[in-house]
Structure 1
Amino acid sequence: MKTTAVRLYGKKDLRLESFELPDIKDDEILAKVVCDSLCMSSYKAATQGSDHKRIPNEVDKNPIIIGHEFAGELMKVGSKWADQFKAGDKFSIQPALNYEKGPVGILSAPGYSYTQIGGDATYVIIPGEVMEQDCLLPYKGAGFYPASLSEPLSCVIGAMHANYHTTPGSYVHKMEIVDKGKMAILAGVGPMGLAAVNYVLHRDDRRPSLLVVTDVDQARLDRAASLYTTEFAASRGIELIYLNTAGLADPVAGLKELSGGEGYNDVFVFAPVRPVVEQADAILAFDGCLNFFAGPSDPKFSAMFNFYNVHYAYTHVVGTSGGN
């Protein structure tokens, strides 16, 4: 089977090439890719090359196929999986395999680490570990793009689940955001920030009582407010505030004032920008959790963090990459 794919050979070295795929093994599946949505993580992989944690060192000799938010149709199923899948089935992929024996270990993922599977291809071979990890997801909906977009939404959901809080003296981490707490999403009106706002507003199991979403571009904030209105948020029991921090002399003071002076239980950072990270740290409430969602392209990216508050106010930070 001939496929055409965008392959990564190194830093900023992407090539559109056609090549032959081998016959599938008994534990593999041949698939046609119909839809692949674009993610900034692919841009980071393309700019970093083998310096990226998910890219193999020998990518210059064994190029990987880029793209990890994809969906399509199964073409031929190896005998090992014939009782679970069949030709013609529609599928999506969870690229966060968490498979220790992958090309780069636990961080191995289609679209980063594999030579025969990635979203920017016409046909791919799905390796056995994808099915072994339950990461080949049957899709029965209309079209294909909603299945592709399930991957970034999974990342947002995972981020909410990854936050944690404690009760002084118990030493037990209570996973999740604080129900009826105060939440801030900083730099939060890009595609992933909007996905987070959407998820927060539509959750039934828990939600904040206050949600403040910031950016420095008023046009982007206005668009977000038209998509996810304060009126709808209020109907869900959430006070939603869109805030342009570029217009504030002291953004930290302004944000803390909106919280009633207490700060925020859960703060999500959606841009790898040092002042935004430090702003997030400064507005944490007691036992506040900072989730650094936006992955930086600079391996040496850093920011100041108030360790006095870590010690006395129980503030803490988590980072999430991918869903499950």
Structure 2
Amino acid sequence: MKTEAVRLYGKKDLRLEEFELPPIKEDEILAKVICDSICMSSYKAATQGTDHKRIPDDVAENPIIIGHEFAGELVEVGAKWAGEFKVGDKFSIQPALNYADGPVGILSAPGYSYQYIGGDATYVIIPKEVMELGCLLPYKGEGFYPASLSEPLSCVIGAMHANYHTTPGSYVHKMEIVDGGKMAILAGVGPMGLAAINYALNREDRKPSLLVVTDIDQGRLDRAASLYSVDFAKSKGIDLRYVNTGAMDNVAADLKAITDGYGYDDVFVFAPVVPIIEQADEILAFDGCLNFFAGPGDSNFKAPLNFYKVHYEFTHLVGTSGGNMDDMKEALEMMSKGLDPAGLVTHIGGLDAVIDTTLRLPEIPGGKKLIYNHIRMPLTPISEFEEKGKTNPLFTELHEICQLHNGLWNLEAENLILEKWNKLT
């Protein structure tokens, strides 16, 4: 079986290549990858090369396939797994394997560490450890892009589950956000911030009473408000406020004033920026939990924290990176019941767009860049479909479909891409 894939050979050395996959073993599965959403973590892996903890030292001789937010369908199932999986099953993968015998040990992950599996390929071989650890996850919802985006959604699910609070006089930590509490999501209208808003508004088991989302870009705030409206939040019993902190003289004081001086029980930081971390620390309520979600690229990144508050006001700090298996299952379950992550997606492209997109990801504005692996298509903002339609009628059709869905990517558009794009281009 031939595959076409984007492989990493070293720092900023990505190559789109066709090569032969070996026959699968009885404990492996051959899969067709339909789509992959490009993550900032892939940019970090591509630019750091072997300095990255998940990239094998011999990547120059044995290149790995990049991409870890992917979905597709099973093509051939090894005998060992024939009782659990069948050809045609749709799937997503939890890439955080925590498998000691992987290529780089416990940190091994598809999209970082393996020669034959990664999201930016047409066909892949799923290794035994993925199934043994229960990381091959069936997806029973419609389409493929929701399953591809289940991994980033699982990351924000994990972040909210990781927060904790205490009872004075007790050493027992109560995991989770405060039900009915006050929550702030700072720098919160990028792709992952949008995922966090979507999850906070739609989960059934617990929710904040107040949710404040900040940024300094009014255009991004307006887009977030159009996707996840104040009125919808109100119908869920949540007072949602989008706040532009760009013109504030004292951001922390003004944010705290929204709570009448109480502060915030749960604060999430979605950008590795020192002033934002300081703001988050300042607005914590008694027993407040600060979740530093955004992973910095600098191993020496530091920011000051108020340790007087840590000691006397029981404030605390957690950091999360990725979601676990339960988080991934929760994401897929919510999507199978209709939760649509389309608001995260702002660009669509083909496999030929992966290299440039990955290496320039921090420079490209907007949200998630969604790749369809079996087509050739330059990375294109959904907002430019109408203009592109002047020279390619298929873009006109895509534009019209997206307009029927509030300008968002959707299942109809995905089906059009999968059925017609290669034939008409």
Within 5 A, what are the aligned runs for 1:51-66? 51-66=51-66
- Does structure 1 residue 287 correspond to structure 2 residue 287? yes
**Aligned counterpart, 1:242:** 242
Aligned amino acid, residue 186 of structure 2: L
Whole-Å separation in 1 of the counterparts to 2:270 and 2:192: 7
- Kindly state the Cα deviation for residue 277 of structure 1 after the two structures are TM-superposed: 1.3
**Aligned counterpart, 2:327:** none
Within 5 A, what are the aligned runs for 1:209-220? 209-220=209-220
Q: Is the 8 A contact 1:2 1:20 kept in 2?
A: yes
**Aligned counterpart, 1:181:** 181
**Aligned counterpart, 1:82:** 82
Whole-Å separation in 2 of the counterparts to 1:265 and 1:58: 46
Indicate the SS of the match to 1:197.
Answer: helix
**Aligned counterpart, 2:102:** 102
CA shift digits 1:193-225 (9 cap, x unpaired): 011001111111111111100000011111111
Aligned amino acid, residue 28 of structure 1: E
**Aligned counterpart, 1:298:** 298
User: Which is worse superposed, 302-311 or 64-73?
Assistant: 302-311
- Kindly state the Cα deviation for residue 85 of structure 1 after the two structures are TM-superposed: 0.9
- Kindly state the Cα deviation for residue 274 of structure 1 after the two structures are TM-superposed: 1.5
- Does structure 1 residue 223 correspond to structure 2 residue 240? no
CA shift digits 1:178-204 (9 cap, x unpaired): 011110000001111011001111111
**Aligned counterpart, 2:276:** 276
Unpaired stretches in structure 2, ≥5 consecutive residues: 325-425
- Kindly state the Cα deviation for residue 52 of structure 1 after the two structures are TM-superposed: 1.7
Cα root mean square deviation, aligned = 1.1
Indicate the SS of the match to 1:57.
Answer: coil
Aligned amino acid, residue 286 of structure 1: F
Whole-Å separation in 2 of the counterparts to 1:142 and 1:234: 28
Unpaired stretches in structure 1, ≥5 consecutive residues: none
TM-score by length of 2: 0.75
**Aligned counterpart, 2:417:** none
- Kindly state the Cα deviation for residue 58 of structure 1 after the two structures are TM-superposed: 2.2
Whole-Å separation in 2 of the counterparts to 1:238 and 1:154: 22
User: Which is worse superposed, 55-64 or 245-254?
Assistant: 55-64
- Kindly state the Cα deviation for residue 53 of structure 1 after the two structures are TM-superposed: 2.1
CA shift digits 1:139-196 (9 cap, x unpaired): 2222211110111111111111011111122111111000111100000011110110
User: Which is worse superposed, 298-307 or 284-293?
Assistant: 298-307
Q: Is the 8 A contact 1:48 1:297 kept in 2?
A: no
- Kindly state the Cα deviation for residue 7 of structure 1 after the two structures are TM-superposed: 0.8
Whole-Å separation in 2 of the counterparts to 1:50 and 1:210: 43
User: Which is worse superposed, 293-302 or 62-71?
Assistant: 293-302
CA shift digits 1:76-109 (9 cap, x unpaired): 1111101111222211111122223222232221
Spell out structure 1 runs of 4+ moving beyond 3 A. none
**Aligned counterpart, 1:129:** 129
User: Which is worse superposed, 102-111 or 287-296?
Assistant: 102-111
**Aligned counterpart, 1:16:** 16
Whole-Å separation in 2 of the counterparts to 1:135 and 1:182: 34
- Does structure 1 residue 255 correspond to structure 2 residue 255? yes
Indicate the SS of the match to 2:311.
Answer: helix
Whole-Å separation in 2 of the counterparts to 1:141 and 1:237: 28
Identity %: 79
**Aligned counterpart, 2:404:** none
**Aligned counterpart, 2:116:** 116
User: Which is worse superposed, 96-105 or 46-55?
Assistant: 96-105
Whole-Å separation in 2 of the counterparts to 1:163 and 1:301: 22
Q: How many positions carry a matched residue from both structures?
A: 324
**Aligned counterpart, 2:363:** none
